[in-house]
Amino acid sequence: MERELTLEFVRVTEAAALASARWMGRGDKIAADDAAVRAMRAVFDTISMDGTVVIGEGELDEAPMLYIGEKVGNGSLPRLDVAVDPLEGTNLVAKGGNGAIAVLAVAEAGCLLHAPDMYMNKIAVGPWAKGKIDLDASVSDNLKAVAASLKKSVHDLTVVILDRERHEKIINEARDCGARIKLISDGDVSPAVAAAVAGSGVDIMMGIGGAPEGVLAAAALKCLGGEMQGRLVPSNEEEYNRSLKMGIGSVDKLLTMNDLVGDGDVIFSATGITDGSLLKGVVFNGTGACTHTLVMRAKTGTIRFVEATHIFAKKPLIEKINVGDD
Ligand code: VTB
């Protein structure tokens, strides 16, 4: 993968963030998502690559754009796997809540796990705790290991967990250890990535969320030198049968970084839509808007935070996709 692609992918997540940010707090998560998808799709077409969506908006019959198997880019080499979530946290944008991002990961073809739309049990940490966590160990053992790697007490850890009934047990266990917990209503990609960014205030993300989101977070953690482990959690027979066909051996296989993102190069880009622990949200001004993006490449380990000012009048494409309902 050419390094020049890095900036191209920044443009893609910026466009999705700019388009969906217009919908913040307006109570319409479908419109917010639709705006992000259209914008992302439009900018992808301007990039020299032969991309195939492996994680996207759903199957061909469920999504008109960015569906699994859709080709993106102008068709020239390199051949790439593309994982996208144009709006990660639709409810967050609809309600103006914190932590919504536009996100993508692109890898050499054949590298990304084609995670189906089902749940995955996950644990994500930064480079300091790499090799020290185990999805099958107790919450207490994992928290102690992460605290030790950060040279701090478990009482000073911040654990992020989706606020769901299914997490009652792990929340109670984390509380029994005395860890600080941040319960979030949605959007577990951002805190999983934040766990590997020093100074973000997040030390570990754990719990059951989306499997596609797990692959996106794993791609970021690969760039950051962190670690994610996951395990698919099929909710019914159909999902179980679908996981059987994924070529991961057994459905309950412990998925490692290599299973999730492979061993080739990966580029990850995420732009904040609403403010979060990782990224600032879109701020509109009189002539355009400012965006905040994290972009990274696994091969070199370069981590960039890109603050951009967009002048809509000078960017016809952005202006076109950003008009929304005006
Ligand atoms: C998960 C999580 C996402 O939606 O997919 C969640 O990974 C859905 O979980 O980040 P529930 O079925 O419990 O609502 C997000 O929070 C947002 O897309």
**Residue-wise pLDDT tens digits, 111-168:** 999 998 999 999 999 999 999 999 999 999 999 999 999 999 999 999 999 999 999 9
Query: What distance in angstroms lies between residue 2's CA and the mean position of ligand 1's atoms?
Result: 33
For residues 56 and 78, membership in a common domain is answered with yes
CA 83 to chain centre: 9
Q: Is the CB of 210 under 6 A from ligand 1?
A: yes
For residues 255 and 272, membership in a common domain is answered with no
Q: Is the CB of 226 under 6 A from ligand 1?
A: no
For residues 255 and 274, membership in a common domain is answered with no
Q: Is the CB of 213 under 6 A from ligand 1?
A: yes
Q: What's the rounded Cα separation, in Å, for the pair 187 and 170?
A: 18
State which amino acid sits at residue 49. M
Q: Note the pLDDT tens digit of each residue in 217-265.
A: 999 999 999 999 999 999 999 999 988 888 788 899 999 999 999 999 9
For residues 140 and 244, membership in a common domain is answered with yes
Q: Is the CB of 88 under 6 A from ligand 1?
A: yes
Is there a contact between 180 and 144 (Cβ–Cβ < 8 Å)? Answer: no
Q: What's the rounded Cα separation, in Å, for the pair 138 and 227?
A: 17
For residues 274 and 210, membership in a common domain is answered with no
Query: What distance in angstroms lies between residue 77's CA and the mean position of ligand 1's atoms?
Result: 34
Query: Would 319 be classed as within a structural domain?
Result: no
- Hey, whose CA ends up nearest to atom 3 of ligand 1? 187
Q: Is the CB of 186 under 6 A from ligand 1?
A: yes
Helices 5-21 and 29-44 pack at an angle, to 10 degrees, of 150
For residues 126 and 244, membership in a common domain is answered with yes
Is there a contact between 157 and 129 (Cβ–Cβ < 8 Å)? Answer: no
59 or 211: which carries more pLDDT confidence? 211
Query: What distance in angstroms lies between residue 119's CA and the mean position of ligand 1's atoms?
Result: 8
Q: Can the peptide bond before residue 127 be classed as cis, meaning omega within 30 degrees of 0? A: no
For residues 133 and 220, membership in a common domain is answered with yes
Query: Which domain does 48 fall in, by range?
Result: 4-111+266-311
Query: What distance in angstroms lies between residue 56's CA and the mean position of ligand 1's atoms?
Result: 14
Query: Would 318 be classed as within a structural domain?
Result: no
What is the rounded average pLDDT of the residues 97-104?
97
Q: What's the rounded Cα separation, in Å, for the pair 202 and 193?
A: 9
Confidence (pLDDT) at 314:
75
Q: Note the pLDDT tens digit of each residue in 260-280.
A: 999 999 999 999 999 998 999
Question: Which of 188, 205, 274 to mutate to test ligand 1, by most ligand atoms within 8 A of the CB atom?
Answer: 188
Question: Which of 186, 190, 208, 215 to mutate to test ligand 1, by most ligand atoms within 8 A of the CB atom?
Answer: 186
Q: Does residue 323 surpass a pLDDT of 60?
A: no
Q: Collapsing DSSP states into helix, strand and coil, what is residue 233?
A: strand
For residues 131 and 78, membership in a common domain is answered with no
In the chain, the number of structural domains is 2
Query: Would 286 be classed as within a structural domain?
Result: yes
Q: Of the residues 200, 229, 260, which one is the last residue of a structural domain? A: 260
Counting atoms of ligand 1 from 1, which one is nearest the CA of 162?
A: 16
For residues 130 and 83, membership in a common domain is answered with no
For residues 75 and 138, membership in a common domain is answered with no
Q: What's the rounded Cα separation, in Å, for the pair 177 and 155?
A: 8
For residues 50 and 79, membership in a common domain is answered with yes
H or E element, residue 297: strand 288-297
Q: What is the CATH number of the domain that holds 37?
A: 3.30.540.10
Confidence (pLDDT) at 322:
59
What CA dihedral angle connects 137, 202, 93 and 164, to 10 degrees? 30
Query: What distance in angstroms lies between residue 205's CA and the mean position of ligand 1's atoms?
Result: 13
Confidence (pLDDT) at 317:
62
Q: What percent of the chain has pLDDT over 70?
A: 96
